[in-house]
Amino acid sequence: MGDAKADTQHLLALRVSTREGVDDLVDKAVAAGGKDVRTDDNDFMYSRSYADLDGHVWELMWMNTDNMGDKEA
């Protein structure tokens, strides 16, 4: 079994229904001992990543799907 703190084994990504929900969950994970890893804000998509106590990286993301419709080419 690999050491998640030394090597990247996998990335776990979860979709969250709101941008605020992403912040809430990551803030709770960090308060419980996790490490804030990264934040990406691309307006239509927002994500934050944290490492859990074993070093596994979790990414929580929200995507604004309101403007994602059929568009003419």
The pLDDT tens digits of the residues spanning 42-72 come to: 988 999 999 999 888 999 999 998 866 555 5
Of 58, 52, 51, 46, nearest to 11 by C-alpha is: 58
Q: Show Cβ contacts of residue 72 under 8 Å, excluding neighbours closer than 6 positions.
A: none
| Identity of residue 48 | R
Q: How much is the pLDDT for 73?
A: 44
Using 50, 70 and 90 to split pLDDT, how confident is the model at 8?
low
Q: How much is the pLDDT for 9?
A: 67
Phi, psi values for residue 21, rounded to 5°: -65, -35
Q: Is the pLDDT of residue 23 over 90?
A: yes
Give the CA-trace dihedral at 20, 23, 29, 35, to 10 degrees. Answer: 170
